[in-house]
Amino acid sequence: MQSLWSDNEANDYPSDLDLRVYTSRLLGRDPSLVLHGGGNTSVKITEHNLIGEEEEILYVKGSGWDLATIETAGFAPVRMEHLLKLAELDQLSDPQMVNELKTHMTRADAPSPSIETILHALLPHKYVDHTHADAIVAITNNADGETRIRDIYGDRIVVIPYVMAGFDLARECARRFKAEAGPQTVGMVLLNHGIFSFGATAKESYERMISLVDEAESYLQNKCGDSAHLPGEEADLLARRLTLAELRRDISTATGRPMLLHSTGNPKGLAFARHPEVARISQQGPATPDHIIRTKRLPMLGPDVEGYVNAYRDYFETNAPNAKEPKTMLDPAPRAVLDPNLGLCTVGKTIGDAQIVADIYDHTIDVILKAEALGGYQALPAADLFDMEYWDLEQAKLRKGGSAPMFQGEVALVTGAASGIGAAAVREFLSRGAAVVGLDIDPAVTQVMTTPGYHGIVCDITDEQALRDALETAVRSYGGIDMLVLNAGIFPGGCRIDQLDTELWHKVMGVNLDANLALLRECHPLLCRAPQGGRVVVVGSKNVPAPGPGAAAYSASKAALTQLMRVAALEWGGDGIRINALHPNAVFDTGIWTEEVLAERAKHYGLTVEEYKTNNVLKVEVTSHDVAALAAEMCGPLFAKTTAAQLPVDGGNERVI
């Protein structure tokens, strides 16, 4: 491990707090030190308050901030005098401690101070750094962990047996530090948890951390060599759509709410799932109590899809909570699944949550394997993990969570997503909490949104193999499909029937009808397995109830698609799938309505372009957002008991009315 300190960069951080920001970000750059909000840093600064009194303030990383991106606003300023008085108490509950920390800050708008604030205050150094370095955790998650740590560092570090973060840990660290620390002490190791370094300057504290962790990494390399690495595995996983959708549904059932399932495609995860001892080493507990991930390892199954499905169903029926028992605040469903054919799959309310689990578990695999190579991975006892998971502060956060967005944990697939109604639908479903997959032949579909919750796929929907590949990608990414918006379509220029070319007719039918038939057929098994029932919205057209001259191919294709929707509603109702249609008219901010087509249709009716845009009963312009919002609403609870409906979105059309 190499120091990233740069004197030139450090010159841009003039104050003590600025330098605290700088070295915190240096630590945050390395995921083997801190990962997704882990780790903690602080600095003690003497300041003058409003009335001119001098007081010492501890600036400690605030809750919710990540070291990789932290700013000065991310540090909570707490009065040292009060912290030291709190440390003298015989006992202090965690809720009481949180209250005392928040009420003794110098800034009301600051984030909540870390639960380790009192510990940072008690360490007699200006700068304090704390990480969950993989190398330290791997060495300490071992029966001989303490002995190995002392062999590496001697009396340069103070060793603290595991104590859950909070007041008790601060008191224990202070007691041991006072008894064992000397002028040679540069750090402190918390077994099964992480490592502290400290110093008089930001550079000294940071570079001590790097040096200490580098020693641990060198120790592991000397003791383990390549034995702590997995053999290479091909990333060609058997990611069957049906298997993943079934797994996601059963996890969602056990959780009591829709969840997303991410198949990582990580060769390391696949190799670990096939490790001969995975059933033992994956079930002992997390690398650190800060990252508790409930993990399930499923047995090796045959190639038969039905066999997969039955095995998953049997597993979750056996392990799901008894409905008659009172529910705990935390559901028992796994957040990581190891399958010898699928590899590592992770679960979350959002895809961001699932990816965080994937990142953490990727590091956990390294920790487990290195600890195994040292003689055996040994996590904390179950009682300590239970105390952490059902810690009153964690429960308080869960209770405070608030209501979830309408479609959180669900997946929407939108065709024709690169522009117009499709792009608006992508944004609308995302705004309501869904993960969204967008399909379009236009490469711009990949850039409609830049968020982990959106996956744009370039796809010609008339190519059935391309459709199947796109669905495979969608299900690997998010675990299934709950909502389908059939929006893609083409509108050729006006052409009378006596001039209509057969090839053009077939092209329009191929896109507007045949491709949607293929999508409905391929998506049906996935919609059947949607945790809250499948939903389909067909984007039809005003031309279905009121066709216009010159649009025979378009009108006929949309009418046939609407009839297909009605038949599907009859056939799929028993599967819990509802399917409805929208009939928009005169939506001009779409790819179909080029300037040429718009001018031609306006001229046909003897109107200006502006008159044509509002040529409806209400004299309003209908936008892509209007249609997208209603499409999303039709997938929500308001339409839970409606299927085969046809709704106009046209401002009122005289011919339809």
Phi, psi of 62 (to 5 degrees): -85, 155
CA–CA separation, 415 and 412 (whole Å): 10
Q: Is 409 within 8 Å of 259 (Cβ atoms)?
A: yes
311 DSSP 8-state letter:
H
Who's near 263: CB < 8 A, 6+ residues apart?
A: 237, 239, 244, 342, 343, 344, 345, 475, 476, 477, 479
CA–CA separation, 542 and 583 (whole Å): 5
Share of the chain residues as helix, strand and coil, in percent rounded to the nearest 5: 45, 15, 40
CA–CA separation, 118 and 111 (whole Å): 16
Structure tokens at 278: 């995975």
Who's near 325: CB < 8 A, 6+ residues apart?
A: none
Q: How many CB atoms lie within 10 A of CB 447?
A: 10
Q: Is 393 within 8 Å of 167 (Cβ atoms)?
A: no
CA–CA separation, 347 and 571 (whole Å): 32
Q: Is 285 helix (H, G, I), strand (E, B) or coil?
A: coil
Name the pairing type of β-strands 187-190 and 194-199: antiparallel
Structure tokens at 368: 């487990």
Q: How many CA atoms lie within 13 A of 78 on its CB side?
A: 34
Q: Is 261 within 8 Å of 247 (Cβ atoms)?
A: yes
- Cα separations in angstroms, 108 against 50, 56, 113: 14, 17, 12
Query: Smallest Cα–Cα separation from 116: which of 133, 130, 95?
Result: 130
Q: Is 474 helix (H, G, I), strand (E, B) or coil?
A: helix
Residue with tokens 């944990």: 409
Q: How many CA atoms lie within 13 A of 319 on its CB side?
A: 20
Angle, vertex CA 414, rays to CA 554 and CA 631, nearest 5: 80
Instruction: Give the burial class of 385: count Cβ atoms within 10 A of its Cβ; 0-12 exposed, 13-18 middle, 19 or more buried.
Output: middle
- Cα separations in angstroms, 247 against 170, 181, 190, 254, 475: 43, 52, 37, 11, 11
493 DSSP 8-state letter:
P
CA–CA separation, 194 and 200 (whole Å): 21
Q: Which residues of 294-330 are buried (b: 16+ CB within 10 A; e: fewer)?
A: bbbbbeebeeebeebbebbeebbeeebeeeeeeeeee
CA–CA separation, 512 and 506 (whole Å): 10
CA–CA separation, 387 and 396 (whole Å): 14
Name the pairing type of β-strands 343-348 and 336-339: antiparallel
Q: How many CA atoms lie within 13 A of 53 on its CB side?
A: 7
CA–CA separation, 357 and 305 (whole Å): 27
Who's near 31: CB < 8 A, 6+ residues apart?
A: 359, 363
Q: Which residues are known catalytic residues?
A: 554
Q: Could you tell me where the DSSP H helices lie in 181-259?
A: 202-224, 241-255
Radius of gyration of the chain (CA): 30
